[in-house]
Structure 1
């Protein structure tokens, strides 16, 4: 198993946000974390990468427990989070944003990023602040790939983007998945999730309340209605 989260508990101050979250990601697998706002999805990602240190539980990556390590050490191991705010350096060019994160041992070099994200090649001399929201998301994902990740975690990658750009990013993520990358995806757009994922977890009030294969989830209208308040056929 590439990544196993075992019964992690995380707090913001005295607020007990994660209450024993467990999940697994196999090599080359895409899993989603679903749930209503405030369920603990982003907190789970932050706990895995050490931005928020779990008070209890284990985060096992290739057999080693990462819980309690500094976030930069976890990133160096190959667990990478693309946050919701994207973190693009607006005064640097696209190419500078990409190369500043580059690691020589990464399977992803500049030409690979430009092949999957041709918009970035077209805009490579533009400043990060001149990009559209969709282009900034592509840049954030591309920059993460150049850090040599083994697990890529994406927090709301298509939120607020136009449908045509969403389709473009989904196609790009499919290309990344095809290379064997393990991905954890937090996303509200269920159509995007079911296009990409092998398995799904649903969080509610800081606990995993449901898990299923993609086919099982698609067929389970009751779970979608009960936990998410939506139905894909609607």
Structure 2
């Protein structure tokens, strides 16, 4: 499965009159896992929503798969293969697991239901259960699996392990590694530093709507001063 590069340059975004993103630039190369870190309110989720078209950029360029996507509609961006798994997961509680997957499935997706069930065996066990009957971890797995059957060229994950038990976190991390090994690049927003350092090739830190730091896995792992300054002990 081939990846697609994402690049955003000097992107600005507002909520009303509040200037949330103030010239954000970052890139995700084919096959990479990149994390976007920062304290609450730094603009991480807004960055993902702006890339996916849910928030209109007020300036800057967003290039995906070699084409400018800034300002086009969210369904058009999703149709080009850029998939966002939001923090609220957005699954349909009244539909079964399999119905949630089937309504999202694209005929040209390289991820079949069989592929999903092989990577997420717990979903196969629960396939006749309603979305509202699932645990938080199972709902997160379903949200990721639903994005996969939609045929993503790049996956954006917003806080995928927030509030989950450690054993479930380990399971989701293993599944993200499987997705990465298939060639799909991932842009990951996550507060769990252990998860980020285990998964990512590169890290960005967002501070008050601006990129304050960029580093490789090795650079970030060895720079305790950066972690303390921009993330604090609450992010550990």
Place the TM-score, normalised by the shorter chain, in its bin.
over 0.9
Counterpart of 1:81 (choices 69, 80, 84) is 84
Q: Kindly state the Cα deviation for residue 62 of structure 1 after the two structures are TM-superposed.
A: 1.5
Structure 2 unaligned segments of length 5 or more: list them: none
Structure 2 matches for 1:3-82, cutoff 5 A?
Answer: 3-82=6-85
For residue 124 of structure 1, give the secondary structure of its aligned residue in structure 2: coil
Deviations 1:194-231 (A, max 9, x none): 11100000000000000000111000011001110139
> Counterparts of 1:114 and 1:108 in 2: how far apart (Å)?
10
> Counterparts of 2:201 and 2:234 in 1: how far apart (Å)?
19
Deviations 1:174-194 (A, max 9, x none): 111111111000000000001
Could you say which residue in structure 2 is the equivalent of 1:122?
Answer: 125
Structure 1 unaligned segments of length 5 or more: list them: none
> Counterparts of 1:62 and 1:185 in 2: how far apart (Å)?
18
**CA RMSD across the alignment:** 1.1
Question: Structure 2 length as normaliser, TM-score?
Answer: 0.97
Deviations 1:142-164 (A, max 9, x none): 00001111110000000000000
Counterpart of 2:183 (choices 159, 180, 191) is 180
Question: Structure 1 length as normaliser, TM-score?
Answer: 0.98
User: Does residue 204 of the first structure (1) align with residue 213 of the second (2)?
Assistant: no
Could you say which residue in structure 1 is the equivalent of 2:94?
Answer: 91
Q: Alignment length, in residue pairs?
A: 233
Deviations 1:79-111 (A, max 9, x none): 110000001101100000001000011110100
Contact 1:225 1:231 in 2 (8 A): no
User: Does residue 214 of the first structure (1) align with residue 217 of the second (2)?
Assistant: yes
Deviating above 4 A after TM superposition, structure 1's stretches of 4 or more consecutive aligned residues are none
For residue 100 of structure 1, give the secondary structure of its aligned residue in structure 2: helix
